[in-house]
């Protein structure tokens, strides 16, 4: 798979009449919401992959999801994703799919099981320019509330490295033991979270 560059996604400079660029910039600020949360679509796949590639390959040498896998999940189950956009730019995202077994397996990395009652969180990532601002926490909280509004989804599961376990525990996740899934030499802890409390909070928040 060819390596993609964030710079390749930037529009080329245009030669416009004097004053036009200022007008367009002003118009853009008035037409794009300052901050927006929405489910992702296949059109967002490249932006998602650019953020993910920078966040993970530099650390672990691999990505949880590659571009075609991102498109796969955003086609099959876009309602299990959530993106945070600021002025039209993707700054953070979560991608999930449904799973129908008690524990995660190697198969769960690539499958969406429509009859499942468990949301498998494949990835949470934040653009490098927006890290250390609490955006991952805000997005995860909103995502769990979003899942809580879907009656068929009873719980959320994920796998992470041991250092990240305390982060997810703050949101109600509980460790259930070592995960059966491995990626190369990397091992993970599996965590799960009941969505009942998030569904209750959403119903009583007016969201």
What positions carry a catalytic annotation?
97, 111, 122, 124, 168
Question: Is-contact 65 73, C-beta < 8 A?
Answer: yes
Closest CA to 194 of 140, 153, 137: 153
Question: Is-contact 171 185, C-beta < 8 A?
Answer: no
Which string of DSSP letters, residue by residue, matches 122-154? Answer: EEEEE-GGGTTSSHHHHHHHHHHHHHHT-TT--
Query: Bridge-partner residues for 189, per DSSP?
Result: 160, 178
Q: What is the 3-state secondary structure (H, E, C) of 25-62?
A: HHHHHHHCCCCEEECCCHHHHHHHHHHHHHHHHHHHCC
Question: Is-contact 125 51, C-beta < 8 A?
Answer: yes
Question: Is-contact 83 77, C-beta < 8 A?
Answer: no
- Residue 148 CB-half CA count within 13 A: 20
- Which three-class secondary structure state does DSSP give residue 117? coil
């Amino acid at each position: 798979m060819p390596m993609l560059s964030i710079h390749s996604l930037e529009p080329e400079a245009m030669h416009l009449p004097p004053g036009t660029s200022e007008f367009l910039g002003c118009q853009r600020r008035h037409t794009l919401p300052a901050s927006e949360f929405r489910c992702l679509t296949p059109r967002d796949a490249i932006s998602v992959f650019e953020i993910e590639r920078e966040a993970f390959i530099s650390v672990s040498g691999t990505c949880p999801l590659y571009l075609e896998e991102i498109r796969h999940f955003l086609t099959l189950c876009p309602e299990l994703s959530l993106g945070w956009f600021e002025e039209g730019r993707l700054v953070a995202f979560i991608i999930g799919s449904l799973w129908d077994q008690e524990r995660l397996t190697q198969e769960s990395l690539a499958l969406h099981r429509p009859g499942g009652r468990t949301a498998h969180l494949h990835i949470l990532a934040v653009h490098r320019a927006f890290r250390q601002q609490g955006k991952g926490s805000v997005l995860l909280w909103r995502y769990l509330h979003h899942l809580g509004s879907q009656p068929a989804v009873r719980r959320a599961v994920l796998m992470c490295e041991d250092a990240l376990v305390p982060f997810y525990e703050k949101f109600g996740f509980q460790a259930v033991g070592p995960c059966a899934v491995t990626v190369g030499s990397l091992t993970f802890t599996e965590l799960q979270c009941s969505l009942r409390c998030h569904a209750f909070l959403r119903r009583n928040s007016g969201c």
